[in-house]
Amino acid sequence: MNSHKILILFVIVFGLVGCEQASKGFSLPIGDPAQGEEVFLSMQCLSCHEMEGYERPESGEDKLSVTLGGKVATLKTYAELVTSVINPSHQLAEGYELSDIQHEGESVMPVYNSVLTVEQLINLITFLESRYELEPYTRTEYIIYR
């Protein structure tokens, strides 16, 4: 093989590796969390959600309260977060009484798609993502009887 062919081979191999990485996942551009927080507050997400560090508007006793953010055992993927905002009924949040969070299979969460601009969505998701923290891993202790 002459050096010219080797060079072409390199370009092809590295070109392919590059493609593979680029196609691994899809995400929107990184947004601005401070502006995302403004969206979160102005859209009144807190009327149904609670989030550490945020006061809820006149919270009554039996108010719907789905927790967002905080320490979790498994982080939501970027795609899951986006999906839960643009298509809330796709996968309902776990750990809640079904009758509280859905009606005839549809999430009670409003669909904001015609309300949010793409820029607001990008910022909102960046803000939400920054509010989750992975819980430190704790080992299960086993007692072995012999």
Please say which residue, 12 or 90, places its beta carbon nearer to ligand HEC.
90
Task: Output 31 or 40, the one with its CB closest to ligand HEC.
Answer: 40
In whole angstroms, how close is the CB of 143 to ligand HEC at the nearest point? 34
Alpha-carbon distance 88 to 74, whole Å? 19
Q: Which residues bind ligand HEC (CB under 6 A)?
A: 40, 43-45, 47-49, 64, 66, 68, 81, 84-85, 88, 92-93, 101, 107-110, 112, 124, 128
Give min distance, CB of 30 to ligand HEC, in A. Answer: 17
d(CA 60, CA 103): 21
| Angle in degrees, 0-180, between the axes of helices 118-130 and 78-86, rounded to the nearest 10 | 130
Q: Annotate 101-128 with three-state secondary structure.
A: HEECCEECCCCCCCCCCHHHHHHHHHHH
Closer to ligand HEC by Cβ: residue 20 or 94: 94
Q: What are the angstrom distances between the C-alpha of 119 and each of 105, 113, 116?
A: 29, 12, 8
In the complex, minimum distance from the CB of residue 59 to ligand HEC, in angstroms, rounded to a whole number: 13
CB of 19 to ligand HEC, least distance (A): 32
